[in-house]
Amino acid sequence: MNDTIVRYQLNPMLTDTVGFFDYCVPLTNESQAPIADSLKKYYNFGAYDYISPLPPHKQFKQTISIFEPHNLAPKHGGPLAIEKQSTDWFTVVFVTCLFILAWIQNSYSKRLGQIFQAVAQAHYINQLEREGNLFKERISLGLGFIFYSISAIFGFLIVREFAGIPAGLHNLTFAAIMMGGLMAYQLLKSSLIYLSGIIFDTREVARLYQLNIMIFNNVIGIILFPLAVVCFYWDNIFVLTTGIIIVLLLLIYRLFRGILTGLANKSYNLFYLFLYLCTLEILPLLLLYKVLSKM
């Protein structure tokens, strides 16, 4: 039927309850004599003329399809590839994080409360230190998994919404790359902090700064968890933007707390503090923004 001509007559007085033909009735008058191809026959639709006669230029239109007379403009000039990538792994990660949070709340609820208190007010870090070594506790493993996995998923959602996933790259692969990059960055930063503590003989300050980074990461992971779930299942741009703002505010607050930690030690050189902050805190954010802006 590629070359078939269909003739129909416009009559706005006829009622089309479903709006399929938009008041355009196909000329399929069965009273006419049948021929081999009914779509090529010029039908006499004069039975409807007494209702509302139309001007001659509107009496008949020609088209190759009965679906042609509409006001919907095509968005794409050609066929689109069907995306067959599975996102079931999102649900697996969310369920795993939910079980980890339930385990932490059941077994380490007091410790979790101390972490939130230490983020809110700096003097609670001393209490956190007195009651154990957070670097060697099992709660840190669970919270660390939540932070890295949820941060990777949230970053994946941000890139998908504002830039688009690179062509030919699987969603799971892209999220795994983001998670691996975040872990590598955190490992590099922790190593440099540890080395700077040895070089400048400020091991205690370096340890406190690493603890400060850890507790903020743990809280960021917990806060982003429900936001990532909402953004993934409901595709809410407002919630996604809210999460970005919350993370930026927490990172700025963490940077401010790190500066205060360095200033509290008189033996710590301010030049090296400024060099460290620019190299490991500010520069990575600028590079990340540069990469995302070019995608």
**Tens-digit pLDDT profile for residues 176-229:** 999 998 999 889 888 888 887 787 777 887 788 889 899 999 999 999 999 999
Q: What is the CA radius of gyration of the chain?
A: 32
Does residue 31 sit within a domain? yes
**Tens-digit pLDDT profile for residues 106-131:** 999 999 999 999 998 888 888 888 88
Q: Domain range for residue 236?
A: 88-294
The tally of domains found in the chain comes to 2
Instruction: Work out the average pLDDT over 60-74.
Output: 56
Strands laid side by side in the 24-26 sheet:
24-26, 6-10, 61-63
CA distances (Å), 290 to each of 72, 225, 293, in order?
38, 26, 5
- Residue 121 has a pLDDT of 86
- Residue 18 has a pLDDT of 46
- Residue 75 has a pLDDT of 67
93 and 156 housed in the same domain = yes
Does residue 5 sit within a domain? yes
Residue 59, pLDDT above cutoff 60: no
Residues contacting residue 223 through CB under 8 Å, at least 6 positions apart: 243, 246, 247, 250
d(CA 101, CA 149): 13
Residues contacting residue 205 through CB under 8 Å, at least 6 positions apart: 197, 261, 262, 264, 265, 268
Does residue 80 sit within a domain? no
Does residue 82 sit within a domain? no
Residue 81, pLDDT above cutoff 90: no
8 and 128 housed in the same domain = no
Structure tokens at 98: 């939910």
**Which residue, chain included where needed, has tokens 């959602």?**
157
Long-range contacts of 264-272 (CB under 8 A, 24+ apart): 264/205, 265/202, 265/204, 265/205, 267/200, 267/201, 267/202, 268/200, 268/202, 268/205, 269/200, 272/196, 272/200
**Tens-digit pLDDT profile for residues 272-295:** 666 666 666 777 767 766 666 665
- Residue 267 has a pLDDT of 58
190 and 270 housed in the same domain = yes
Residue 105's pLDDT band, with cuts at 50, 70 and 90, is very high
145 and 203 housed in the same domain = yes
Residue 266, pLDDT above cutoff 70: no
53 and 114 housed in the same domain = no
143 and 8 housed in the same domain = no
**Tens-digit pLDDT profile for residues 90-103:** 899 999 999 999 99
- Residue 203 has a pLDDT of 81
56 and 105 housed in the same domain = no
CB neighbourhood size of 182 (10 A): 17
- Residue 55 has a pLDDT of 56
Does residue 254 sit within a domain? yes
**Tens-digit pLDDT profile for residues 13-49:** 544 444 444 444 444 444 444 444 455 444 444 444 4
34 and 146 housed in the same domain = no
169 and 278 housed in the same domain = yes
Q: Which residue has the higher pLDDT, 73 or 217?
A: 217
Does residue 78 sit within a domain? no
259 and 198 housed in the same domain = yes
65 and 155 housed in the same domain = no
Residue 66's pLDDT band, with cuts at 50, 70 and 90, is low
Among 69, 101, 125, the domain boundary falls at: 69
Does residue 77 sit within a domain? no
Output the DSSP codes for 65-78.
Answer: -TT----PPPS-SS
Residue 61, pLDDT above cutoff 60: no
Residue 175, pLDDT above cutoff 70: yes
Cβ atoms of residues 228 and 150 within 8 Å: yes
**Tens-digit pLDDT profile for residues 129-163:** 888 888 889 999 999 999 999 999 999 999 888 87
Please state whether beta strands 24-26 and 61-63 pair in parallel, antiparallel, or not at all (unpaired): unpaired
Residues contacting residue 8 through CB under 8 Å, at least 6 positions apart: 21, 24, 25, 26, 27, 60, 61, 63, 66, 69
Query: What letter does residue 9 receive in the DSSP assignment?
Result: E
4 and 97 housed in the same domain = no
- Residue 89 has a pLDDT of 85
Does residue 81 sit within a domain? no
